[in-house]
Homo-oligomer: A and B are copies of this chain.
Amino acid sequence: MVQYTDLDSSFAALSDATRRGVLEQLGRADASITELAGKFHMTLTGMKKHVGVLEQAGLVTTQKAGRVRTCKLGLRGLEEEAAWIERHRLLWDARFNELDKVVEELKRKEKADAPKNRE
């Protein structure tokens, strides 16, 4: 069973362009908070906040060695999030296919009725 609180925190973490950018960056290489702050033109405090949100959601882990805090991708790989979205897309497709069928049915009826109208 999907844990809804997990989905809450991960989707909230993904709802910010900087945080998505940090995940993309860490997908290429680990980075320190200072490097990330520089890359995204932010203050250290601002970046620490964003990394904190990603860490809370389990999407990033950090480790401090001396004065440097290194960030890397966390152990969660967004499987549950992908599964939820995929499930929604299937429902969405089904709903719109249903609508298509209704439209087709209406068209067919119109066609069948057309000769009568001409009489």
Contacts and interface: CB of A to CB of B under 8 A. Distances in A.
Nearest to A28: B91
Interface stretch (A8-16, A40-48, A101-109): A8-16
A37 interface: no
Contacts of A88: 23-24, 27, 77-78
Interface string A73-101: 10001110110111011011111100000
State the number of copies, please. 2
The interface size bin for chain A is 35 or more
A94 to B, nearest CB: 7
Given A27-B92, A85-B81, A14 B16 contact: no
Interface in A1-57: 4-5, 7-9, 11-12, 14-17, 20, 23-24, 26-28
B8 A17 contact: yes
B24 A4 contact: no
A12 B86 CA distance: 17
